[in-house]
Structure 1
């Protein structure tokens, strides 16, 4: 049985078209962005969704003491960074900050939608510069673009490195990031990270963790883990994924929305295979809404993982998604949701559903 169409599916487009006529939507599948390494470094800041957040704007769940405790610990961590930076600013005869004590960083562990990224971005905003913020994938892409030694040299100049959605997708990344963070800790860089898995459990269910246990335990030693319990705030009192639109309604929405993209879902997935994930953000340059025809379940794991990265970039940019086909909570197969990348797929579903809701309210 096909999924029900959205109630707005038959609304005439002519009633809301701009006076100048329909807008020609762009096709993401026709774009091949080229991104300079300098841009990758310059863009290591919180995404627009979190550009103005603070500890004060975080709203802890009143039933979850761990959320209040996380705010307290992170505020103290930020205060320590500011105190360490203060001597260098106060006097000409001070050579620098005192040696840092305690763990090199903090690690926010918890489920989806409990505000980990909000808190990580709040820490970044509260800390002195120079500082960098990026997802784990963006960090590995930066190393690939700059080369390992140049990445170490560049990031060593920072006081704080924030890593969102810490992942270990393959053995190569395990060794790479473990070595990178070790070098940064030696240089005095403080670290903060979010993930859905405790540091000592990273890698389980994805590859032969025993072969890389030494690397994983080494990473764990750098962090003070902070458990954040709670329900996904995007689902607190909210409905499930909204019903999809009809194809015609997707076309109409794209035509009347300035800055909209319009793609067949299958074409876009195929295009992602020839664009490096480090360029998915650039793929969305000047796009203000995403329209997709024929969303269907993704069976191939490589394709699914690329969709996860694109979902993250769309979520970062708060791009509402108007789509036909199946609802986004059915886009990953049950087999995938039971596999080693389950946490990634659930995060992507949570974010895609949130963006689909944004479109249904517009």
Structure 2
């Protein structure tokens, strides 16, 4: 059984965690981390929240048979990824794509694509696949779509192919195509990796053939989008958002004084004025948002307001994802998280990203109730 490597990120360039209770809180706005390329590669493993997930602790909704089917299919996929790839032909990968004892043609799908709404457990299943694949950690990679494109930016295209080309499995979470450049880049990259024998697995809220729809002139890049779709067998996973299934509504925002007091008495907490933090995020590349959170045990925000524009909103989505990955509770004053994004945004091409961010921030707000003395059963 494969095990997860220890998460020991390189030290951030930001301030150190306070040495003792009562010290001034951290500030995310004071941090300008620099992330070397080798850290980007080393951190392409499931985030801490998903260290212990496995297929056998995924709990399918009995009313949604597609969830149980996904576990069955992915378990079989993982079982076909074993064996030595020393022949350079990815024999273990091809074993999974056999029909009646014969291999499928190499041009057939070489990956699985988990499509479904937010909160149905797609990332749990993707991380479980990574853990179940019998390969050394350095021979399999896990990252979000944004982290993958950031890796190409840091290493260059050819070096990224060389780095990932020897892998048995590449897992891509939150697969989205936000612009034409990404479409061409990722289509070319994945085609090269498939040629090298790398198996692919991805999650998204959008079917492969619909990627980019509503965000740019997808029809102009139809060939690239269809090329991406051809790499995957799609598994639809239906269901409700497990983070809110049967739970009470999100807690009401705290007051400024309550947030500030909690930040001062919580070791490792950060305290920031929300509009100032949004401004600071515009000066930090999203690939560094994970490092921005290094050593932070809780995020406290005052004066949360609706985000003013699309670019700011998309940066906030990335920060929400990194906080959720690291299980960092978020205590905030101001407007509730379900009012962060205006109606025009929630009807637009990025609406699925915004709903995911609302879902995840709401879960982190529930986690933050302990900072104010509330019990989880409240």
The alignment's TM-score, normalised by the length of structure 1, stands at: 0.91
Change (3 A) 1:291 1:211: same
Corresponding residue for residue 91 of structure 2: 98
2:202 is matched with 193
1:243-292 deviation per Cα after TM superposition (whole angstroms, max 9, x unaligned): 00000000111001110000000000000000000000000110010000
Correspondence 1:151 to 2:144: no
Alignment counterpart, residue 109 of structure 1, candidates 115, 139, 157: 115
Separation (CA, whole Å) in 1 of partners of 2:148 and 2:195:
18
- Quick one: distance in 2 between partners of 1:335 and 1:190? 38
| Structure 1 unaligned blocks of 5 or more | 1-19, 89-93
- Separation (CA, whole Å) in 1 of partners of 2:66 and 2:340: 32
The alignment partner of 2:55 has SS state of coil
Do the aligned residues in 2 keep the contact of 1:26 with 1:261 (CA within 8 Å)? Answer: yes
* C-alpha distance after superposition, 1:331-350 (max 9, x if no partner): 11111000110011000000
Alpha-carbon distance, 1:97 to partner: 5.5
Farther off after superposition, 322-331 or 232-241: 232-241
Ranges of 4+ aligned residues in structure 1 off by more than 3 Å: 94-97
Match of 1:338 among 327, 342, 347: 347
Change (3 A) 1:249 1:78: same
TM-score, with length taken from structure 2:
0.87
Instruction: Tell me how far 1:24 sits from its aligned partner.
Output: 1.3
Residue aligning to 1:72 = 72
Contact map agreement 1:23 1:257 (CA 8 A) in 2: no
- Indicate conservation of the 8 Å contact 2:130/2:140, yes or no: yes
Shift, 1:95, TM fit: 8.2
1:157: how far off? 1.2
When structure 1 is superposed on structure 2, of 352-361 and 100-109 the one drifting more is: 100-109
Q: What do residues 91-127 of structure 1 show as CA deviations (whole Å, max 9, x unaligned)?
A: xxx8886374332100000001000000000000011
Q: Partner of 1:224 in structure 2? A: 233
Q: Distance in 1 between matches of 2:307 and 2:349?
A: 16
| Equivalent of residue 349 in structure 1, options 350, 358, 365 | 358
Return the match for 1:138 from 144, 147, 158.
Answer: 147
**Aligned counterpart, 1:258:** 267
Question: Could you say which residue in structure 2 is the equivalent of 1:48?
Answer: 48
Q: Quick one: higher RCO (CA 8 Å, sep 6+), 1 or 2?
A: 1
Preserved CA contact (<8 Å) 1:293 1:324 = yes
- Please, what is the CA RMSD of the aligned residues? 1.5
Change (3 A) 1:99 1:244: closer
- How many residues of Structure 1 are paired with residues of Structure 2 in the alignment? 337
